[in-house]
Each structure stands twice: as structure tokens, then as C-alpha cells.
Structure 1
Amino acid sequence: MYQNHYNLRELPFTLTPNTSFYYDLAGHRSALEVLLTALETGEGFIKVVGEVGTGKTLLCRKLLNELPEQFVSAYIPNPYLTPDELRDQIARELHIDTAEHDNQQLLTQAIQQRLVDINKQGKTVVIVLDEAQALPADSLEALRLISNLETESRKLLHIVLFGQPELNERLAQREHRQLRQRIAFSYDLSSMSVHELAHYISHRLHIAGYKGPPIFSGRVVRQLHEASRGVPRLANVLCHKVLLLSYGEGVYTVTSKHVRTAIDDTEDVELTESKRGWLVAACLVILLAAVGVSYYQGWLTGLLR
């Protein structure tokens, strides 16, 4: 691998949502501020939506690490669960022995009692669900019913939903209008600008231990941004591949050729400006050739008359 080639302690562009590599992107910073403010002041549901690869899971883990002491978290990373499985998972996250409750009604009562006990300690439970767009319809309804657990003066828990845009489509359905109306705060994650991508790349290299001269030129960063659309996951994939290519050639600086090769080998990326230029040029050549053939055929036909 290229770790020794660049004197790195670890690989800088892995796809694992490692919070030690967290970069304070403007969109992520705003989302985190909204989340923490909403938890401090709001009630009900909080929703964060972002396209695939925009860093929702990393932001989710960052939130769990940043939660103030007055919150007790229950993290559900894979919510593709039946209502019973969802309640079981929440109960286990709250350290409730599910084996002691042989039906769902008793388990729900145990969850409510646990929430009340935590509330008496001056704390509030936060249930955090990643990939919330995968929740089955009946589990979404079960989640809404769980959110009804409250005292006479306050809710006993907050629920934070992280999901892809499909989550908005799910919640827009009439059957989920009650849950939709309980969403007190919402935030849509955006992709990186080209300047953010430049800082993002530099930050990850620095965290990984790189101390040498710049590896990525401004032109290369612009190509990477256009190809990845500013999506962190795609940027990581491309950056990893171009570093492999430069290592394979025994060079240290990433070139436009490396970027084009990485793009050709990567799904869901867009044509770079230079590659699009070649495509347009090729189309023009074909068009001119077709016009030439048509003109020649017309001239020949006229000559033979």
C-alpha cells in the first residue's frame, strides 16, 4: 500500500465513518448545532436527511460523542426491524432485561418505567436511528407510539432520525402524517464545495500523519470535485485510488491522468471537464463527417443527372 510511500500512520481515505477523521464541514457543523439545540429546547422528532455518501453516519456518531451529560442515548444503527424487534432493541439499549418480559405490552411498560427512572435523575433519553428510510411502515408507527411516552409535564425521550431522501418520501405518505407533524426540527445535508474538498483532503492527510509538500494541485481538486459532486464518500474512493496510482508509478504528486483513470474505474461519478471536452470534440467530428458524407452524396447525385 501507499502508507510507507507517503509516510502515513494509517490510510486517510477509508470508507469507515471514523470520528477521528471528522472534518468540520459547514453543513455538518450547522446540522450538529441544530441537533444539539433541538435536543436542549425541543420535543418530539428531529430529522436529518442527506444523499448517499454525504456523511450521515459519521455525523450520527459525532452527535453521540458530543451529547451533553444530561442525555442518555440509545443507538439503532440498522432499523430494518419489525415493531417487536424495534422495541426489543430499544429496551436492550436502555439496559432492560428483555427475557423478564414475555410479551410486548409488558416490555413497553418496562421501557416507560425505565424512561421515568432516567427522568427522575434529571436526564432525558435520546433514541438515534441511522438509515431511518429503511424502517418498515408498521415500525414507523410503533416508533410514533413509543414517542407518546411522557409525564404530565414533559416528554420522556427525543427521537433523532438520520436518513436518505427516501425518508422524506416515506413521511409524505398520508399514513404517516401524525409522525410527520411531530418533527420539530429538520436539516438537509449538502455536499462539499470545491474549497471545502481541498481542505477536507488536506485535513484527512494531516490526521493520517502526512507532513510533506502538497500532493493534490488545484486543478486535480477541481477534477475530483466535479467527478464526486462534492460527496465525501465518492471523494474518498477517488482519493484512495489516485494515491494508489501515484504509488504504483513511483511518483508523489497526483496528476490529472491519475484522476481520469480513477474515474474510469469508479461507479456513480460524473465526467470531468476534460473528459467531457473530449466527448464533445468526438461528437463534433462525427457530426462534421456526417455532414461531409451527406454533401458528397448530394454533389454526386447532381453530377450523375
Structure 2
Amino acid sequence: MYQDFFRLSESPFAIVPNPKFYFLSERHKEALSHVLSGIEDGGGLALLTGEVGTGKTTTMKALLERMPEQSQVATILNPSVSVLELMQTLCDEMGIEYARDDGFKPLNDAISAKLHDNDQQGIQTILLVDEAQHLMPDVLEQLRLLTNIETSQRKLLKVILIGQPELQEMLRQQHLRQLAQRITARYHLMPLTAQEVRQYILHRLSCADRLDPLFDDGAFKVIARDSGGIPRLINLVCDQSLKMAHRDSKQRITAKIATKASKEVLHWQSVSSHSERHGFMRYWPVYLGAIGGAALLAVAIRWGLDGNTSPAPTVANINTAPQVQTERVPAPTVK
């Protein structure tokens, strides 16, 4: 839509994880290093976690490009599978023939034979599991058992689990402690810093063949602040900023444009907190009155417990309702 207007060869801020636009921040470099080292030297399990939009899937694609030459990589992108389906998927990914009615043992034996055959040929077998927080506990346990296939020097199946922070919570459960102990490398992706946000935007623009300035300094600051350094949110704000600037025939993205774009695409993020703040400010007199009344009542109760019969002047006015005068009716005489 706006590529020709801004002299871009393609859209630089699409949210599709394109390795061409992959930005190696210091955090992402560390992530790649940790994960790759975790499956070397005999290690069997590595863990990469991060909040939504921090670039885990893109990191996985970068990992695929950096795998050793002599390696066979199997990927599981939809981890909502049973144990049997996991074994079948592994066979599919590794090119193992099997019958659809094969049970667990034939599948396990076929996978074990393939792993040993790869090892004899000097081929490293690696399994990448994306969105691993959706794995069922019994499937996670089966992955641990598969990493038990080994020689005296190394594991024959290396597993990399990639997922959201909930995956860390899962692995803290008592019944998964054996799996957690097998993890030789862990890394949690953090959001980009303000300086990295600037570098990230410039990098993606250069990948789309735009080398001269397009965003003002103020725009960089707005995007870094409002996105929280989350790459996916940065992409959303930048893409919307370009659309708005193109619509208004503006050649530069200013702080004003970035602010408006941010409000349009990120408003859903702050709806809850904004509503809570607004509600408190609106009803603070009610809250204050309730707190004050509770405090006075507590004083009155304490006064009574202490046995002091003299009236408390501040408590006496709590009940301000008018007193209703009633006429005394004599009780009937029983004859």
C-alpha cells in the first residue's frame, strides 16, 4: 500500500516471522548461543521462553539456519498432541515408515533405530517444539524418555522447547522434576531497550532498501515507550504510522503520528488499567467515606471493650438517622 510512496521494496513491519528481517539484539544473540550450546557436548534438552511477541518463533527460524551441517531437524509447530500422535509426528518428520495402526512400541522401536542409524552416520538429530507450553504432562514425560536413548558419550535426540513463561511454571511441578533436571540450557527473552528499538526499526527499514531517515527522534521515543520493547507491537505501531503518513502525504513519521498510531493499534492493552483508575477517581469519596466509617466503628467497639462508660463524642454522631417516637401501650392484664 505505502511501499512505493516511501521507496520501500517490501513492507518492513509485517508480523510474519521473516528471517530476512531478523534483528540480532544482544538478547537474541545470547538466546541463540545458550540454546545451541545446550544441545552440544552431550546435552539433551534446551529451553527458550519469552513473553508473547518477543521473537521466539523468529529465533527458532534463526536457529534452524544455524544448525550443524550434519543434522536432521524435526519440528513440531502444533504441540496439542497425544503421546501416540507425538510419536507419529516424529516418524513423519524423520522420514520413518510406519503403519497407521502401529502402537506405541513399534513406533518407539522405529524411532530408536533411526536415532542410532543417524548417529552412526555422524548425523545429529534435533527436535524443535514451538508453543511448548501447550504440551500435555504425559507428552513432556515421553520427550524425556526419548532423550534417554543415548550412547556412552551423548544423547541421540536433542530437544529444544520454545514457549511462553507458563512453560517455566509447568516445569516447576513436582511430577516433571526429572524433565526439568535434564535441561542443560535455559534462556528467557526480554523486551528490547529504547536504544535497541531504534536499531530494530532502522534495521528493518534497511532490509526493505530504505537507508535515509524516515522516523523522527521523537517517534522512536514514542514507539519504544508505548510498545514496551516488544517487537511484535513495534511492528504494529510502525506499520500503522506508515499507513497514516501515507494517507496524509507525509514523508516523515513524527512523534505526533506515532502517538496517534499507537493509540489506534494498542488501545486494547490499557483498557483494563485505565478503567480501574477512572473508576477509583470517580468513586473515591464513597471509598473514603466507607473507610472512615469503618475506622469510627472500630474505635467505638474498642471503647466498649475497655469498659469506659463515658460517651465518645466522635462516635455518637455515626447514626444520624432521625429517631422515631413510639407511644407506649400498656400490657394487657391477665385474669
Do both share a fold (TM > 0.5)?
A: yes
Q: Secondary structure at the match of 1:98?
A: coil
Match of 1:223 in 2: 222
Q: State the Cα distance separating 1:100 from its structure 2 match.
A: 7.0
Match of 2:307 in 1: none
Tell me if the contact between 1:51 and 1:165 (Cα under 8 Å) persists in the aligned partners. yes
Q: State the Cα distance separating 1:199 from its structure 2 match.
A: 1.0
For 2:33, give the aligned amino acid: E
For 2:24, give the aligned amino acid: D
Larger Rg: 2
For 1:33, give the aligned amino acid: S
Q: How has the CA–CA distance of structure 1 residues 228 and 269 changed in structure 2, closer, same or farther, with 3 Å as cutoff?
A: farther
Q: How has the CA–CA distance of structure 1 residues 42 and 3 changed in structure 2, closer, same or farther, with 3 Å as cutoff?
A: same
Q: Secondary structure at the match of 1:151?
A: coil
Partner Cα distance (1:5, 1:97) in 2: 53
Q: How has the CA–CA distance of structure 1 residues 162 and 50 changed in structure 2, closer, same or farther, with 3 Å as cutoff?
A: same
For 1:154, give the aligned amino acid: R
Match of 1:159 in 2: 159
For 2:260, give the aligned amino acid: T
Q: How has the CA–CA distance of structure 1 residues 41 and 115 changed in structure 2, closer, same or farther, with 3 Å as cutoff?
A: same
Match of 1:184 in 2: 184
Match of 1:300 in 2: none
For 2:51, give the aligned amino acid: E
Q: How has the CA–CA distance of structure 1 residues 230 and 101 changed in structure 2, closer, same or farther, with 3 Å as cutoff?
A: same
Listed as ranges, the matches of 1:246-265 within 5 Å are 246-265=245-264
Match of 1:294 in 2: none
Match of 1:203 in 2: 203
For 2:238, give the aligned amino acid: C
Match of 1:292 in 2: none
Deviations 1:213-238 (A, max 9, x none): 31111211111011110000000010
Match of 2:243 in 1: 244
Q: State the Cα distance separating 1:153 from its structure 2 match.
A: 3.8
Partner Cα distance (1:32, 1:199) in 2: 19
Deviations 1:180-238 (A, max 9, x none): 11111111111111111111111111111214x31111211111011110000000010
Q: Secondary structure at the match of 1:41?
A: coil
Is 1:86 the counterpart of 2:83 in the alignment? Answer: no
For 1:235, give the aligned amino acid: I
Deviations 1:59-107 (A, max 9, x none): 0010011101132211111211111111111111110113277222101
Name which structure has the greater RCO, CA cutoff 8 Å, separation 6+.
1
Tell me if the contact between 2:74 and 2:93 (Cα under 8 Å) persists in the aligned partners. yes
Aligned residues: 276
Q: State the Cα distance separating 1:261 from its structure 2 match.
A: 1.9
Q: State the Cα distance separating 1:257 from its structure 2 match.
A: 2.3
Out of 57-66 and 34-43, give the one that drifted further.
34-43
Q: How has the CA–CA distance of structure 1 residues 177 and 128 changed in structure 2, closer, same or farther, with 3 Å as cutoff?
A: same
Q: State the Cα distance separating 1:7 from its structure 2 match.
A: 1.4
5+ residue gaps in structure 2? 286-335
Tell me if the contact between 1:42 and 1:184 (Cα under 8 Å) persists in the aligned partners. no
**Share of identical aligned residues, percent?**
37
- The CA RMSD measured in Å over matched residues stands at 2.1
Partner Cα distance (2:158, 2:92) in 1: 17
